[in-house]
Amino acid sequence: MMQWTSFVQKAQSFIDPANFSLPTLSSSDRNPSKASLFRQQFRLPDSQNPLQEITAELILPIPHTPSSTSLGEPARNPVDRAGNRYAGRLHLSERFLCFSTQPTSFTPSTSLGASTHWAGQTNGTGPSGNGFTIPLCCIRRVERLNSLSHVFSLALTTWNGALGKQQNSDFAPQRFTIQLAGSRQACERFCDGLKKGLRECMKEIENLRLVVNNCYSEYLLSGTKAKAQNGEAPEARQPPDAGLGMMFRYPGDARKLRDRSKMRLWGEYFRENGRNATLIRQPTFHKLIRVGLPNRLRGEIWEVTSGSLYLHLRSPNLYTETLSKFSGQESLAIDEIEKDLNRSLPEYAGFQSEEGIGRLRRVLTAYSWTNAEIGYCQAMNIVVAALLIYMSEAQAFFLLSVLCDRLLPGYYSTTMYGTLLDQKVFESLVEKTMPVLWDHLTKSDVQLSVVSLPWFLSLYINSMPLVFAFRVLDVFFLEGPKVLFQVGLAILRINGEELLDIQDDGSFISVLKAYFSRLDESAHPRSENPKLRAITRFQELMVVAFKEFSQITHQTITEQREKHKDAVLQNIESFAKRTSIRNLGPDSKKLSMDDLGVIYDRYYEVLYDRQQRQKVEEEERRRQEKKRVERTSILGPPVDREIGRVGLGPSPTHMDYDAFRDFLAATAKWAVADSRGSSRKESTSEQGFNSFRGWGKSSALWNNKPEPADHEFTRRLFRKWATDPNEGLSLQNVVNGLARLKGPRDIMNNINYFFDLYDDEGTGQVDREGILRMSEALLFLSRRGFEGAITPTQSVEDVRANEQDQDKLSTDERFLGSVSSFIRRCFEYADPSHPDRAAEGQKDEDAAETADKLGSFSIGDDEEDLIDIDDDAKSIESAGTINPAKQVTEDKPNTHHNRSVSESANPALDPNNPLHITLPTFRMVILADELLEQFFDSFFPQSFRLSDHGLEALASSSLSSNLTTFSNIGAAKPQPSPASGASVAGASGGIVPPGKGLRGVLDNIVSDGIRMAAEVKKRMDEAQRELERSALNRDDEEEEEDEEYDPRSGVATTSAMVGGISSWGAGAYGADPERRSVRDADRDLLEGAEVISMRGKDDASLLDDKDDHKQDRGTHDPSHDDPNLVSKVEFES
């Protein structure tokens, strides 16, 4: 039997919806989460979630009257005198106990309709409902009453009135009963959760005491005077701050407003139903709010009905701490605040004084620091000024946060999307409820938003007289934004006949302005009935708003907002996009409008994608930890607010390095990491990045997106583009960076830009490490192929290879050889970076030594991968050439020794001989190689994929494509078709007529080419003089050492000159068309020299090896005739 009972209880636990845990919030679904609806209904902070939920009945005691005790009757237990009873749902969160008569449920198993079945954001009670929202720290005692076995009855006693220093003699604690209806296990589970929450919240009683003692209701009910401890002298208690109205009078006539009568009614309600944090809402509560709040209690009741009191309880000193923390600091928001201070309700006397202006400044400044995303927006000063008339600074500070972040999200933001969205909703409601008026306004071309936009943005404060605008706010803070729509529709309905006669916007404004000025007049002045004559226009407005338009509920507003949201946001985003692109600066003119649009969309897509990803990862981390971490700041936007669109308000403005990598991966193929699943031919720029507005749908494809690469080149590019790398990249930075590369094609600009990336010191010099990093970057950028952007011309070696039926090298393999040659040439033409010497003789000696080492240049085994291209390339070598890879494998023990020997002979590897290249040298090396020239001319800028229009523009002819360089002197230039039109470069485009020879080349080369030629000539003359001088100074002992392996001996002088400056210079700059660029034989020559230097070959074998290469190429080098003869190339002028 026991087993069967336990089985039934276990089954009930599975069936009971209260047993389900809260699911992970998902932002992909447009429907709000159950936790979000729970917080909206009860106006709770973002840290609260529905933990337990159960059906219950609230039993309130009969109101305790002083008359019964004055007659000598004993006071009975209030619980024994049952009064009103309300059935509903009892909800438990981390810090609150909530009861509502609305049949709403927030368990995961319930439908969305069951969670939204309430008429407005009215603390869970609805316009005429009942309930309470009590912080657990306000509950003093919980007792379980003796009742039937199947009924759980809990008697709750609160701290209502017991925390003050002074209490009335007739004080009675607040006590009420809750009966739980559910299975025994569900009731016990709810009680266990309540017990746990009460223990954790005991530490917050001091915060409760601090906040409650500053409430005017405590002062009102505790008595204005109390005796001192000795009972002799009475001590007057100062009333708490109830706003500027206490010093400068409240708006309106207190007698006409019957302020004292309202205070007595509210005092009676507080005694019977609790006050401030322990207030229980019954139908009388809503009636009292509809007739208007008393001046001194208005701020406190606004705080209770809006839910800002619960934020205040959580952190009572946040306002003062924020002011002290940011005291003396400046910001853009503070500058805007100062401009609007004197324009805030100037008709009220309080804001014509320094006291009122100071309060307004402090509240706005404190909020701008706590919510930096919003900061400060126009019209915020009007609303805060109105709040300060009835509230203290701290109360206004917390209420402003609730107003901006929860009640009216998007109203006070950079895009004002909330206000614009509600304008569309309001227009749709006018069209539905008053079609005749809507048709007339449409035909007359009268914009309804001309008058309605100020209504909603200032909450009618700037439209109505203040005394009536505050009556609207009384209901607004209780029932939510629907009140703004109801009042607006009522204004148009009452003035409908006059509005049907208007023909323009001016008359439209005049009619409504005249109506607002007569709100205090009788609505029926000619009626014989005195009661009708006593009804004012404002009372008529409130009746029409809440009676005739009672069908306008919170659900109606929510549905209309969802219907028009996309259209409004799209209009805002289109306008923001056009404005941003128009203000990008002069560099953006280098790009087409299509390219700028793609950059804009992709930039914000990456930012919002990372923002959403971080949010999901944070939620997943919390779920895995299985504990709820509360927010460090209780203010700011809701945690479940929608993000990911520019139109939704404050947008991310800067891109960090990780986001920049994502941006590059979506723009360039080389920026994609070499992951296992990625293909070399895969293009990440074609994955649907046409518009960032569809990012939410693609958020599920995160795992399918390519992983961005993290390379030293991308880091340098990020630092180059960023104005402040610590701050990140703005949209302007990204556009400027891409404009330098994607603008009008200019090879010199691309070469200069690449060089600047590695000029770390900004001195126009790149050292040894920089040269190696450049070569690594070239390999990194080219590792995914060129897609036809580089098409090398057929060389003499290729023709010979075809004649001999040898395999032709691919473009990738030839580019690898070009990079290897790039390293060699950079080191050959690098300048020494010696420190200043004291003696001139020492300089000459070092120069001679450097010349010797420069002649014996070779690349060690560290650069082996850059040179060893392919087995096919090695097949072109002669039979006497030794395979470098084989030699290294056979002689591994000598690797360390050979490297040290090579470093001692090679200035490129010797750290004791620093060197550098300059921009002219770098240009010369690039333009001397056909593949590298095409790389910087076409492939590098084209690798950044933007719009199709931009790709077509890049494919067109340009000045840089017509530039004549030494590497393509002998190559045939493509002839322009007749339809292609004139050349971009015009007469000076560098197109060499056939048969002009070297003279024609030099006549058509650009100024940079002339400077480079002069630099080469000067450098080679200097090298000639230095080598001749060093050759004359050599003695017989150095010649005898030629038989031994010494990199500084004649081997270095002779063989290096064969494959070094002399032979390479003749091949690159001479008149022989077969030697215009580095070919495979040149690479073989370098590989043979490297292996011989590592193996320690003698001079004879090295020279024989070189002679074999010369015989294979069929050319003769005059430097072989005399080892001391230096070849010299002169340029005709």
Convert the pLDDT of each residue in 161-200 to its tens digit.
888 766 666 678 899 999 999 888 999 999 999 999 999 9
β-bridge mates for residue 178, sequence order:
58, 154
Identify the pLDDT of residue 640.
Answer: 55
Residue 805 has pLDDT above 60, yes or no: no
Q: Is 808 helix (H, G, I), strand (E, B) or coil?
A: coil
Identify the pLDDT of residue 1099.
Answer: 42
Distances (CA, A) of 319 to 370, 393, 395, 1030: 9, 8, 9, 81
Convert the pLDDT of each residue in 305-340 to its tens digit.
999 999 999 999 999 999 999 999 999 999 999 999
Contact yes or no for 881/1108 (Cβ under 8 A): yes
Residue 1112 has pLDDT above 50, yes or no: no
Identify the pLDDT of residue 1034.
Answer: 55
Convert the pLDDT of each residue in 432-457 to its tens digit.
999 999 999 999 999 999 899 999 99
Identify the pLDDT of residue 838.
Answer: 38
Contact yes or no for 945/667 (Cβ under 8 A): yes
Identify the pLDDT of residue 762.
Answer: 86
Q: Is 636 left (phi over 0), alpha (psi -120 to 50) or beta?
A: left
Residue 1091 has pLDDT above 50, yes or no: no
Identify the pLDDT of residue 248.
Answer: 94
Contact yes or no for 100/40 (Cβ under 8 A): no
Identify the pLDDT of residue 947.
Answer: 74
pLDDT band at 705 (very low <50, low <70, confident <90, very high): confident
Tell me the mean pLDDT in the region 959-966. 43
283-297, 343-357, 1048-1062: least confident range = 1048-1062
Chain centroid to Cα 546, Å, comes to 43
Whole-angstrom Cα Rg for the chain = 42
Tell me the mean pLDDT in the region 554-572. 91
Place of tokens 């930039």: 603
110-119, 378-387, 482-491, 579-588: least confident range = 110-119
β-bridge mates for residue 91, sequence order:
53, 98
Q: Is 13 helix (H, G, I), strand (E, B) or coil?
A: helix
Tell me the mean pLDDT in the region 480-497. 95
Tell me the mean pLDDT in the region 512-534. 92
Residue 692 has pLDDT above 60, yes or no: no
Tell me the mean pLDDT in the region 537-550. 94
Percent of the chain whose predicted confidence (pLDDT) is above 90:
37
489-503, 628-642, 680-694: least confident range = 680-694
Residue 796 has pLDDT above 90, yes or no: no
Q: What does the alpha-carbon distance between residue 863 and residue 475 come to, in Å, rounded to a whole number?
A: 79
Of the candidates 417, 781, 699, 733, the one whose C-alpha atom is nearest the C-alpha of residue 603 is 733
Q: What are the structural domains, with CATH classification, of the chain? A: 10-216 (2.30.29.30), 317-414 (1.10.8.270), 417-568 (1.10.472.80), 598-712 (no CATH)
**φ, ψ of residue 134 in degrees (nearest 5):** -115, 125
Convert the pLDDT of each residue in 638-651 to its tens digit.
655 566 566 666 66
Identify the pLDDT of residue 548.
Answer: 94
Residue 783's CB is within 10 A of a number of other CB atoms, namely 13
Greatest alpha-carbon span in the chain: 138
Of the candidates 307, 305, 304, 295, the one whose C-alpha atom is nearest the C-alpha of residue 242 is 295
Residue 576 has pLDDT above 70, yes or no: yes
Tell me the mean pLDDT in the region 285-290. 92
Tell me the mean pLDDT in the region 1107-1116. 44
Chain centroid to Cα 516, Å, comes to 44
Convert the pLDDT of each residue in 992-1018 to its tens digit.
444 444 444 444 444 556 556 666 677
Residue 932 has pLDDT above 50, yes or no: yes
Q: At what angle do helices 768-782 and 747-757 cross, to 10 degrees?
A: 120
Q: What does the alpha-carbon distance between residue 211 and residue 395 come to, in Å, rounded to a whole number?
A: 10
Contact yes or no for 48/94 (Cβ under 8 A): yes
Residue 6 has pLDDT above 60, yes or no: no
Identify the pLDDT of residue 889.
Answer: 40
Residue 187's CB is within 10 A of a number of other CB atoms, namely 20
Q: What does the alpha-carbon distance between residue 760 and residue 716 come to, in Å, rounded to a whole number?
A: 9
Q: What does the alpha-carbon distance between residue 116 and residue 99 come to, in Å, rounded to a whole number?
A: 16
DSSP H helices in 758-810: 768-782, 796-803
135-144, 461-470, 885-894: least confident range = 885-894
Place of tokens 């005399």: 1122
Q: What is the mean pLDDT of the chain?
A: 74
Place of tokens 């795992």: 703
Q: What does the alpha-carbon distance between residue 53 and residue 106 come to, in Å, rounded to a whole number?
A: 8
Identify the pLDDT of residue 1008.
Answer: 55
Two tokens at 528? Answer: 């014989």
Contact yes or no for 307/44 (Cβ under 8 A): yes
Identify the pLDDT of residue 324.
Answer: 95
For the whole model, what pTM was predicted? 0.68
**φ, ψ of residue 985 in degrees (nearest 5):** -85, -15
pLDDT band at 97 (very low <50, low <70, confident <90, very high): very high
Identify the pLDDT of residue 964.
Answer: 46
Identify the pLDDT of residue 620.
Answer: 75
Identify the pLDDT of residue 573.
Answer: 86
Percent of the chain whose predicted confidence (pLDDT) is above 70:
63
User: What is the DSSP-derived secondary structure letter of residue 836?
Assistant: P
Residue 1085 has pLDDT above 50, yes or no: no
What is the DSSP code string of 648-660? GS-----B-HHHH
Residue 624 has pLDDT above 90, yes or no: no
pLDDT band at 267 (very low <50, low <70, confident <90, very high): very high
Identify the pLDDT of residue 649.
Answer: 61
Two tokens at 367? Answer: 């909020």
The more confident residue out of 55 and 872 is 55
The more confident residue out of 576 and 136 is 136
Convert the pLDDT of each residue in 736-755 to its tens digit.
989 888 888 888 998 999 99
150-164, 277-291, 896-910, 914-928: least confident range = 896-910
Chain centroid to Cα 251, Å, comes to 45
Identify the pLDDT of residue 352.
Answer: 92
Q: What does the alpha-carbon distance between residue 362 and residue 360 come to, in Å, rounded to a whole number?
A: 6
Place of tokens 């994955």: 687
pLDDT band at 9 (very low <50, low <70, confident <90, very high): very low
The more confident residue out of 1059 and 76 is 76
β-bridge mates for residue 71, sequence order:
none
Identify the pLDDT of residue 338.
Answer: 94
Residue 208 has pLDDT above 80, yes or no: yes
Q: What does the alpha-carbon distance between residue 525 and residue 536 come to, in Å, rounded to a whole number?
A: 9
Of the candidates 27, 26, 183, 17, the one whose C-alpha atom is nearest the C-alpha of residue 109 is 17
Contact yes or no for 53/17 (Cβ under 8 A): yes
pLDDT band at 715 (very low <50, low <70, confident <90, very high): very high
Q: What does the alpha-carbon distance between residue 595 and residue 421 come to, in Å, rounded to a whole number?
A: 30
Residue 1064 has pLDDT above 90, yes or no: no
